[in-house]
Amino acid sequence: MKEAVVIGLGLIGGSLALELKKRANYKIKGIDADPANVQKALELGIIDEETTYDGLQNAEVVIIAVPVNKIGEVALRVLDCVESETLVMDVGSVKGNICREVASHPLRSQFVAAHPMAGTEFSGPEAAIYDLFDGKVMVLCDVQQSDWRLLDRALSISKLLNMRVKMMPSEEHDRHIAYVSHLSHVISYVLGQTVLEKERDEAQIFDMASSGFASTVRLAKSTGTMWSPIFLENRDNVLQTLDEYMENLAKFRTLIAESDDAGLRKTISDINYIKKVLKG
Ligand SMILES: O=C(O)C(=O)C[C@]1(C(=O)O)C=C[C@@H](O)C=C1
């Protein structure tokens, strides 16, 4: 039976474990710094057994799904322990720092830097979902640094999950992801913060909130354990997007302050182009 080891049994690690088990009959071994997560993952049938870094020898694939600030050190430790045929993949949301950290390891070519573009606002093994990755994009970075046979295995796993693969340099990934993922989270947190501060003075404001508020503030339910390290690992790119966002916000504010109906309609109509680029 093929073996996969998943390190970090949260939403993403847990969901990958479920998929590999159900879709390809892998035996899943798990590692997590929090014993409660291991216990929960065992109870939920996400993993078959707990293991340690000494138990990586028979793994066909080791998936690292810990918070992004910990991936580099975990990846180096894993590469120190694995056999020459094992694929080591991370699934973090920031790729440049991780690729730099593993760059000089003698087994660098066994590592594939991956980012499955899927998630929810929930966390922990109980948040793991079967089908989470179905139809989504898997980004693979700096692939020329990986052994082609192991890259091929990463591609097979992506195909198994029914994901579309995109390959790009890690630096480009980090610049783009700041716009389409990290900025949205900052905005949602600050929206939640602004409304919560108001709610303290004027109770019942949330009674009026409907789907518009719910959809824009959904991401604000995501944990700081995951998102603070993402913002800090991709700091320069996130700051760049925030500067551009704040500039646009100031322009939008001016249009409202000046009761510029034509300006507002034109700006909104331009932004409505998003309907064409984002389907669904
Ligand atoms: O839908 C969500 O709740 C997510 O946060 C998913 C999301 C995203 O920003 O789209 C977040 C981080 C992952 O690295 C990939 C996807």
Going by alpha carbons, the residue nearest to atom 14 of ligand 1 is 93
Low-confidence ranges of the chain (pLDDT < 70): 201-203, 280
Among all chains, which residue has been given the structure tokens 């594939």? 112
Going by alpha carbons, the residue nearest to atom 9 of ligand 1 is 181
The verdict on the CB of residue 127 being under 6 Å from ligand 1 is no
- Assessment of whether the complete model's pTM goes beyond 0.90: yes
- Which of 71, 94, 115, 117 for a ligand 1 pocket mutation test, highest count of atoms within 8 Å of Cβ? 117
- Tell me the per-residue pLDDT of 78-113, one tens digit each, with 9 for 90 and over: 999 999 999 999 999 999 999 999 999 999 999 999
CA angle, 157 as apex, 151 and 160 as ends, to 5°? 145
| The pLDDT of residue 202 | 67
| The pLDDT of residue 197 | 87
ipTM for the complex shown: 0.96
The verdict on the CB of residue 223 being under 6 Å from ligand 1 is no
